[in-house]
Structure 1
Amino acid sequence: MPSIDPSLYLQTQNQSKSQESKSATLGKDDFLKILMTQLQNQDPTSPMKDKEFISQMTSFSTLEQMTNMSDAIQKLTEAQSEAPVVRYSNMIGKQVSYEISNENGTTGSETSKVAAVSKKGEKIELELANGDRISTNSITRVSNEASE
């Protein structure tokens, strides 16, 4: 005689629904539980056909791979946003124009090639080929070639 799964009782269902409201999406673990429950409760006189089972396992495998890729992309995005030096590293080798101030208080403009990017405290600095170190806030122009 088949037994009744305790998770089907009304009392347990109300608790399950409150937990479901926390996470409205089904994950790979939920899909696997559904598949296992389906296999346990199938009619022995009419078992699931091989094609149906293979199709469901393929769906599970696809779901698992998509979840893994999503997690990997999320980790990559977080790592890049946490490392501002990486964000500015594409400027290495480019020509930048930037504002400079003299002792007299007059401002001018210089142009040099970016040699390196570094972090000092919370600020990002560009180390230039002419020896200057400038803040990213003082950049007025970025180009691939030397300005003529």
Structure 2
Amino acid sequence: MTTIDTSLYLSNQPKTRIPSADLGKDEFLKILMTQLQNQDPTSPMDDTQFISQMAQFSSLEQTMNMTKSIDTLVQSQLISPVIKYSHMIGKEVTYQAIDPDTGKESGSTSSKVVAVSQNEGWAVLELQTGEKIYADAVTQVTEPELNDKTEQDVDA
């Protein structure tokens, strides 16, 4: 024998309604359906008015979807390590060099950053020497020094 779930009785449902500040597509469709159900049968809603409301709803939904997509794009750009560290291109960085044979630190080395890439979510600085280092290995960032030849070219 089947039993009835008493939690589904109307008397057991919450009596207070919590209003929402958002009017979404579900609410719009409910209003539209209520309008259609309660219209005067002797003078039904004009079909152009109905089509106009549907067009407004469609436009609103597309705008909301576009807004959500733009927000997602902006958030993804803000957390991108390439964007975050792109200002370092052209800067001179000092970092702890690692000896590839021993794996031990071999002192501080400096080089100019020529590109920034990403590896498993981490920013990788590509240096003028051809070496690639993680951005968190950098101990100092400076403007590159101009050599005598470059200074003469700038003055001329």
TM-score (norm 2): 0.58
The 1:79/1:38 distance shift into structure 2, 3 A limit, reads same
Q: 1:140 is matched with which residue?
A: 142
The 1:124/1:116 distance shift into structure 2, 3 A limit, reads closer
Shift of the alpha carbon at 1:96? 1.6
Q: 1:43 is matched with which residue?
A: 40
Counterpart CA distance in 1 for 2:22 and 2:76 is: 25
Counterpart CA distance in 1 for 2:143 and 2:34 is: 63
Q: 1:126 is matched with which residue?
A: 125
Counterpart CA distance in 2 for 1:80 and 1:115 is: 18
Structure index of larger Rg: 2
1:96 has 2:98 as partner: no
Q: 1:80 is matched with which residue?
A: 77
Question: Deviations for 1:43-78, whole angstroms, at most 9, x for unmatched residues?
Answer: 111111233212211110111101211221233233
Contact persistence 1:91–1:114 (CA under 8 A) = no
Pick one of 24, 31, 34 that aligns with 1:34. 31
Shift of the alpha carbon at 1:119? 4.3
Contact persistence 2:92–2:141 (CA under 8 A) = yes
Question: Percentage identity across aligned positions?
Answer: 43
Q: Which runs of 5+ in 2 are unaligned?
A: 1-12, 98-104, 145-149, 152-156
Q: 1:54 is matched with which residue?
A: 51
RMSD: 3.7
**Number of matched residues?**
124
Q: Which runs of 5+ in 1 are unaligned?
A: 1-11
By percentage of residues, which structure has more helix?
1
SS at match of 1:46: coil
SS at match of 1:26: coil
Tell me the amino acid that sits aligned with residue 63 of structure 1.
L
Q: 2:7 is matched with which residue?
A: none
